[in-house]
Amino acid sequence: GAASVATLATALWPLKPALPLTAGPDPSLYSVQAIERGRLVAAAGDCVACHTAPGGARNAGGLALETPFGTIYSTNITPDPRTGIGRWSFAAFERAMRQGVHQDGRQLYPAFPYTAYAKLSDADMQALYGYLMSQPAVAATPPRTELGFPFNLRPLLAGWNLLFHDPKPFTPDPSQDAEWNRGAYLVEGVGHCAACHSPRNALGAEKGGLAYLAGGQAEGWNAPALNQLATGERAWSGEELFQYLRTGYSPRHGVAAGPMAPVIHGLAELPASDLKAIVTYLMAVPGRTPSAARATATATATATATTTATTTATASAATSASVVAAPAATTATAAATNTAVPAPAAVSEAITLRRASGERIYQNACAVCHEAGSGPTLFGVKPLLGQNTNLHAASPDNLIQVILHGIQAPADDALGYMPAFGNSLDDRQIGDLIDYLRARFAPEEEAWPVDTTTIGRLRQHAQPQ
């Protein structure tokens, strides 16, 4: 009817009105309980991780978010009246959170996960607003986001929202119990887990259906699938997942690193009942069978690999036993041949040389912290590698990231720190090391393509964690 046409026209109309600026709320109007509730909502939503630049003030914005469409800079969400949200009314704040529209009427890029925040309850939305408005104001103007054409045309996002955004709050599933529904609310809504852990389509929207939580990308890291935790080849127990979400560490699966470490900082603030609810929900998420998911991931990893393995394998023989070795020159032997596929004996010799090099690097750089009985625990926990999830993954990207950049900001200080080896190992040496680690600790898995191009890309892409 006419009402439906009017609703459609409103959604499609790309120019939204600015909402009036106000003097800002009086934080004293919010109870201590309401502000604490808002603090927990902010912790679950991990606001500080995206809205704080390296070395910058908390929530003052300026973090560079790399997307396939260009670099987007996070905004200042402190109550500063000039550069932050200090003069935003609750109506303006709620519109941004539920509809992705700025106070001044601009469409917000969905790198800001309003598609998930729309599911917040009214009470949680009010509490979050009160909490943010009660925090210290910071005068800081983040860099301006400047995307190339046509992505700089923000009005086009009205059409994107019509296709991919449902602004309705979360609705409990009556067929599930209260704990499952609480977990669904946290995962689908404020926790916005799908923003990293779901694949995206060509327009940057999260895929649903059986692709929901089937694995994605985040800041140069592979975000693993969460839709087969209970049934995958390296299945998690509920107790293991709870411990990981609480502390950032699982003896069987490894340590939270990269973009996941700050997520653990927030989750650790939540009550145990909320973490149990998240575990209950995630352990029940239906997905593709593990074999199908692995086949897809393996095909993707193989398709993106280059053929640099054959040009660098011979150089592995010259690797020094010292970790801090001068970068070795690649040999022209493999590159000079016209043989498309090397003879099996040559491949076997190249692999043997590469893994011998990787073993020497491992013994000098890694064993003291990762080998049982090899010495004292130096920096915190002593994670053994035989069960480590990264070593059994379809892609070596996360392992490469950890080797390059270490773990400088662990999810919990008690876990300890891992030094970065990006300055002491060149790309070929890291390739040798990961090939050795895969063969030794995950021998049942297919070998990764040894790809120095990928290592070089990851070296340049990610900031230290």
> Is 370 a known ligand-binding residue?
yes
The sign of the dihedral angle between the CA atoms of 171, 177, 182, 183 is negative
Q: Which helix (H) or strand (E) is 232 found in, with range?
A: none
Q: Binding site annotation covers 47?
A: yes
Give the Cα separation of 93 and 187 in Å (integer). Answer: 22
Q: Is the distance from CB of 224 to CB of 280 less than 8 angstroms?
A: no
State yes or no: 405 annotated in a binding site. Answer: no
Distance of alpha carbon 160 from alpha carbon 162, whole angstroms: 5
Q: How many CB atoms lie under 10 A from the CB of residue 404?
A: 22
* 366 annotated among ligand-binding-site residues: yes
* Rounded Cα gap, residues 424 and 82, in angstroms: 45
Residue 322 neighbours by CB distance under 10 Å: 12
196 marked as binding residue: yes
SS3 at position 388: coil
Backbone angles phi, psi at 255, to 5 degrees: -110, 140
Pairing mode of beta strands 216-218, 221-223? antiparallel
| Lookup: tokens for 150 | 């046509």
Note whether 229 and 283 are within 8 A (CB): yes
188-215 b/e (C-beta count within 10 Å ≥ 16 → b): bbbbbbbbbbbbbeeeebbeeeebbbbb
The response to whether 50 counts as a known ligand-binding position is yes
Q: How many CB atoms within 10 Å of residue 326?
A: 8
For 25, phi and psi rounded to 5 degrees?
-75, 160
Cα distances (angstroms) measured from residue 299 to each of 206, 305, 443: 20, 10, 19
Q: For residues 372 and 195, give the distance between their C-alpha atoms in angstroms, rounded to a whole number.
A: 37
The DSSP annotation for 243-274 comes to HHHHHSEETTTEE--TTHHHHHHHHTTS-HHH
Interacting residues of 199 by C-beta distance below 8 A, sequence separation 6+: 206, 207, 211, 214, 215, 216
Q: Which residues are annotated as a binding site for heme c?
A: 47, 50-51, 193, 196-197, 366, 369-370
Q: Which residues are annotated as a binding site?
A: 47, 50-51, 193, 196-197, 366, 369-370
